[in-house]
Structure 1
């Protein structure tokens, strides 16, 4: 499957509100990138204000470490950079 096909498949199979499970790939002050093995060429992002595991925004020092499993809900499909935004909490 090429990247265009994978992006289309990801949008179709992961609609808004869908729970997604992945692994934390990189952590930055603005958020984190998540790897979802089923869609390896699609970027999954949880931004800082969307990571609220207990209903509150928490300090990035308390975010999951790289390699940790994480679940998030799909809240957006960003066409211009083929990114799926997730929210936790």
Structure 2
């Protein structure tokens, strides 16, 4: 199996359009929000995260925003980070991972 993989496709919430799901994501994950979640995809440029409590949100922590010396978290790792951007064009929440104990037990 390849070390890198893409996250699985997200199923839309029944009865809601992708735009409605994105609007709810923005309300639940404002800039500066502290979040936890699980790594569900890895690429050389960063990791994709399923955010706790917001199952239809897809977050991305790019390697350039990771603390210096931090290794790319493995699939299934529990992480902590901060919302730094909302990417409207692809409905992604961008995170900066927390350098003090990013991998959660």
- Same fold (TM > 0.5): yes
* Partner residue in 2 for 1:22: 37
- Give structure 2 stretches of 5+ with no counterpart: 1-12, 100-105
User: Which runs of 4 or more aligned residues in structure 1 lie more than 4 Å from their structure 2 counterparts after TM superposition?
Assistant: none
What does 1:2-81 correspond to in 2, within 5 Å?
2=16, 3-52=18-67, 56-58=68-70, 62-81=71-90
2:47 touches 2:73 (CA, 8 Å); kept in 1?
Answer: no
Larger RCO, structures 1/2 (Cα 8 Å, 6+ apart): 1
1:48 touches 1:57 (CA, 8 Å); kept in 2?
Answer: no
RMSD after superposition: 1.5
- Structure 1 or 2, whichever has the larger Rg, is 2
Which structure's residues are more often helix, by fraction? 1
- Residue by residue over 1:10-51, the C-alpha shift from the partner in whole angstroms, topping out at 9 and shown as x without a partner, is 101211110011001111110010012433333200001111
TM-score, normalising length: structure 1: 0.82
Partner Cα distance (1:86, 1:7) in 2:
16
- Give structure 1 stretches of 5+ with no counterpart: none
2:36 touches 2:52 (CA, 8 Å); kept in 1?
Answer: no
Partner Cα distance (1:37, 1:15) in 2:
14
* Number of residue equivalences: 83
